[in-house]
């Protein structure tokens, strides 16, 4: 599955996103950490007169700092698969003397290799910065190991899932849009269902232990959430405390399952893809009915949630407004899909 020719072709296709991944990680990890260390050192050497001990004894880091990196992962998957469909370069790729299975797996190895390399290099630099700068006075680099345990498997799962979406999406744009929608789908769809139930008088106890456990599970199934929600904060200036987000290690089976299913399904679909639908919203005609039903349902639930709150208020929800808005959303989605599903985007031919 590893061939130099395929690696060079993947490098040509995905180089903008690859460079973006390395640059964004460098800016938001070691460069940012070094900046924080310099700021703390300046405050320590030139403290405010009223409380000099308070101005350099705290440090914080959140996973949301690298959210651009998550977008670039999806972009890399779209460049490796979707750009070829949009420009009809798949004709050239499939004419190469390689099995389609090897072509798909070479794309996956290329992306995963750069993701792991980029993360490991920049997190190692962060650890060195924490170790040898003023940051060592307020924190320990061990929290970066915990972050690494989350960010690497979930990032690989996001890339693998986006690559799988590329095997059913017909163009670069549709792969980007569908990847974004389905990556947040578990959390978004549950929110729509909860809204539907509450509009119909079924209240949800959001503080109940079972509800909290279910929400944590849904957050883990929504792949970007565990990375974005990671937080670490330490304050030694006044009331000494350290706070960081915990994720049960059993939840790491979720990105592992996403990755395995995405690679297996993606390989199977990529080996059976047909080029006549390149540039369209979807490659395969089978499943379009189910896809259309899902989109109309989600639009109806979304419009119902928004419309119900417009016509009613929190204490007296408007069921009429809910169904009126849901109908408008469903009809709009039907006609929008009717246009989009036959629209063909193509460049370079």
Instruction: Give phi and psi for 283, each to the nearest 5.
Output: -80, -45
From first to last of its 349 residues, the chain has per-residue pLDDT tens of 568 888 888 999 999 999 999 999 999 999 999 999 998 888 888 776 666 666 667 888 999 999 999 999 999 999 999 988 888 777 778 888 888 999 999 999 999 999 999 999 999 999 999 999 989 888 888 889 989 999 999 999 999 999 999 999 888 899 999 999 999 999 999 989 988 888 888 877 877 888 888 888 888 899 999 999 888 888 777 656 666 666 777 788 999 999 999 999 999 999 888 777 787 888 888 888 888 999 999 999 999 888 877 766 656 677 888 899 899 999 999 999 888 887 776 665 5
Residue 50 is predicted with a pLDDT of 66
Render pLDDT for 284-314 as a digit per residue (tens, 0 to 9). 888 888 889 999 999 999 998 888 777 666 5
Helix (DSSP H) and strand (DSSP E) numbers for the chain: 14, 3
Residue 277 is predicted with a pLDDT of 78
Query: Where are the domains positioned within the chain?
Result: 4-187+205-281, 285-348
State pTM to two decimals. 0.90
The pair of three-digit structure tokens given for residue 260, joined into one six-digit string:
């395995």
Cβ pair 129, 33 in contact under 8 A = yes
Task: Please state the three-class secondary structure of 236-305 as a single string.
Answer: CCCCCEEEECCCCHHHHHHHHHHHHHHHHHHHHHHCCCCHHHCCCCECCCCCHHHHHHHHHHHHHHHHHH
The pair of three-digit structure tokens given for residue 62, joined into one six-digit string:
């959140």
Cβ pair 174, 343 in contact under 8 A = no
- Say how many Å lie between the first and final Cα of the chain, rounded: 29
């Amino acid at each position: 599955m590893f061939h130099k020719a395929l690696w060079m072709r993947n490098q040509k296709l995905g180089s903008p996103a690859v460079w973006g991944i390395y640059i964004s990680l460098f800016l938001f990890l070691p460069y940012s950490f070094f900046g924080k260390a310099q700021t703390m050192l300046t405050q320590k050497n030139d403290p405010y007169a009223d409380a000099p001990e308070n101005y350099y004894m705290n440090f914080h880091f959140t996973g949301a700092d690298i959210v651009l990196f998550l977008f670039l992962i999806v972009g890399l998957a779209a460049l490796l698969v979707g750009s070829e469909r949009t420009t009809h370069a798949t004709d050239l790729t499939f004419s190469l003397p390689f099995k389609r299975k090897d072509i798909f797996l070479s794309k996956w190895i290329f992306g995963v290799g750069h993701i792991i390399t980029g993360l490991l290099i920049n997190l190692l630099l962060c650890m060195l910065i924490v170790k040898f700068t003023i940051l060592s006075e307020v924190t320990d680099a061990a929290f970066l190991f915990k972050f690494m345990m989350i960010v690497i498997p979930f990032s690989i799962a996001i890339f693998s899932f986006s690559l799988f979406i590329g095997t059913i999406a017909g163009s670069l744009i549709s792969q980007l849009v569908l990847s974004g929608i389905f990556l947040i789908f578990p959390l978004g769809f549950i929110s729509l269902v909860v809204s539907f139930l509450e509009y119909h008088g079924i209240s949800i106890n959001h503080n109940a232990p079972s509800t909290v456990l279910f929400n944590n599970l849904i957050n883990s199934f929504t792949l970007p959430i565990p990375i974005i929600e990671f937080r670490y904060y330490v304050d030694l200036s006044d009331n000494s405390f350290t706070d960081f987000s915990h994720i049960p290690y059993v939840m790491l089976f979720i990105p592992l399952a996403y990755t395995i299913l995405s690679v297996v399904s993606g390989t199977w679909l990529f080996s059976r893809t047909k080029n006549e639908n390149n540039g369209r919203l979807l490659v395969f005609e089978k499943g379009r009915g189910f896809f259309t039903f899902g989109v109309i349902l989600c639009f109806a639930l979304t419009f119902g949630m928004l419309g119900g709150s417009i016509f009613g208020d929190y204490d007296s929800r408007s069921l009429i407004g809910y169904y009126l808005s849901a109908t408008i959303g469903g009809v709009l989605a039907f006609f929008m899909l009717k246009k989009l599903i036959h629209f063909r985007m193509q460049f370079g031919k």
